[in-house]
């Protein structure tokens, strides 16, 4: 495993972060805990979850696993707040002080810990001024409940607004941003990554395998396999974006990834992750295994070399700063988490 600084904090984190969205949901508790143990054994010291994942079950399983293995002190533990936690309670969502303070205490209890290393705002909201959110987060840091704060899927202008507000008001600032980023969508290279590099922010990409498409398991001209993320998405609110995965351009990219994998004796998923963790500005890629085999494959990506020639071949079919399938945009706000499979 390799390690890098979490932005300007100086805290060393593994270049792979274990995303825990599936734990306590698609992945049963016992298997989830075994995956966490195996990830830590493989050198991962960075875990990411959220309160909204299975409405607290992911956090509960992560907390139970860290109590069982006794590794809490060696882990950089991240969670998030924003999504709706109760369908019948209008107050149970958002980026308000009330919701953030309440949910931080609930997350601490489920995670069985006295502090959260990285507390992130899961999505921006138009109805809550950023200073309202930042003041609540700053109070949590001063109370010792949170060490660092970050955001997820914020457009670059919203990140800059937050940095400006923190400076003007003397508040602790976001040190990380968690955007979608992979070979199908490289649009954050235009402004978000240069901004993050300039201001010392860590970039923590989610969905490094584009919901499984970059594993190569979806074949040109074939029906979408059942029991897969994209099969479910094709019937939901992401239908339009999901069908864009199956264009000739996207499959041309898969052809190059598979050719590189054959040449290097690894898997297409390992090529995709290896490319990502070596991209300028990237701190740690959030992998989200559902099964132990997925984790084992993900860990192998760390040792896959990506040469300048490999990058040039990928650039030909996945042009820098552009998207074959758009994931990164600023409209994912005020959302219903059930639409995203988070409950």
Half-sphere exposure of 41 (CA within 13 A, CB side): 10
Contact 280, 203 (CB under 8 A): no
Distances (CA, A) of 315 to 151, 321, 322: 28, 10, 10
53 in active site: yes
Measured distance CA(203)–CA(137) in Å, rounded: 20
Sequence-separated (6 or more) residues with CB below 8 Å from residue 316: 256
| HSE-CB for 138 with a 13 A CA cutoff | 16
| CA 43 to centroid of chain Cα atoms | 18
For residues 11 and 5, is the Cβ–Cβ distance under 8 A? Answer: yes
Q: Are 230 and 212 in contact (CB under 8 A)?
A: yes
Give 307's Cβ-side CA count (13 Å radius): 7
Which residue among 3, 53, 199, 218 is the active-site one? 53
Residue 165 — φ and ψ, nearest 5°? Answer: -65, -40
Output the CA–CA distances (angstroms, integers) from residue 279 to 36, 82, 209, 295, in the order listed: 26, 29, 15, 21
Query: For residue 237, which of 132, 340, 144, 319 has the smallest C-alpha distance?
Result: 340
The catalytic residue positions are: 53
């Amino acid at each position: 495993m390799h390690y890098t600084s979490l932005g300007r904090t100086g805290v060393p984190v593994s270049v792979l972060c274990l995303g825990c969205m599936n734990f306590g949901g698609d992945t049963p508790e016992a298997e989830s805990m075994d995956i966490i143990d195996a990830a830590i054994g493989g050198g991962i010291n960075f875990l990411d979850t959220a309160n909204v994942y299975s409405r607290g079950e992911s956090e509960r399983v992560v907390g139970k696993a860290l109590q069982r293995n006794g590794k809490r002190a060696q882990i950089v533990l991240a969670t998030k707040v924003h999504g709706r936690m109760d369908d019948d309670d209008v107050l149970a969502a958002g980026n308000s002080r009330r919701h953030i303070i309440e949910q931080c205490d609930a997350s601490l209890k489920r995670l069985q810990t006295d502090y959260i290393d990285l507390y992130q705002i899961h999505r921006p909201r138009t109805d809550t001024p950023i200073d309202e959110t930042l003041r609540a987060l700053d109070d949590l840091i001063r109370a010792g409940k949170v060490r660092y704060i970050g955001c997820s899927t914020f457009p670059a202008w919203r990140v800059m607004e937050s940095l400006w507000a923190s400076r003007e008001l003397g508040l602790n600032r976001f040190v990380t941003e968690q955007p979608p980023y992979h070979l199908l969508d490289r649009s954050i290279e235009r402004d978000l990554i240069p901004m993050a590099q300039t201001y010392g922010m860590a970039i923590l990409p989610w969905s490094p395998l584009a919901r499984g498409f970059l594993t190569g398991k979806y074949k040109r001209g074939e029906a979408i396999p059942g029991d897969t993320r994209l099969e479910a998405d094709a019937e939901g609110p992401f239908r339009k974006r999901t069908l864009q995965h199956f264009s000739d351009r996207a499959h041309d990219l898969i052809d190059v990834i598979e050719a590189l994998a054959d040449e290097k004796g690894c898997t297409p998923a390992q090529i995709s992750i290896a490319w990502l963790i070596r991209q300028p500005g990237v701190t740690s890629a959030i992998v989200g295994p559902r099964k132990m085999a997925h984790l084992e494959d993900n860990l192998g990506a760390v040792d896959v070399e990506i040469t300048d020639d490999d990058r040039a071949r990928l650039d030909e079919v996945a042009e820098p700063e552009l998207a074959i399938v758009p994931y990164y945009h600023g409209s994912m706000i005020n959302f219903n988490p059930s639409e995203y499979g988070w409950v």
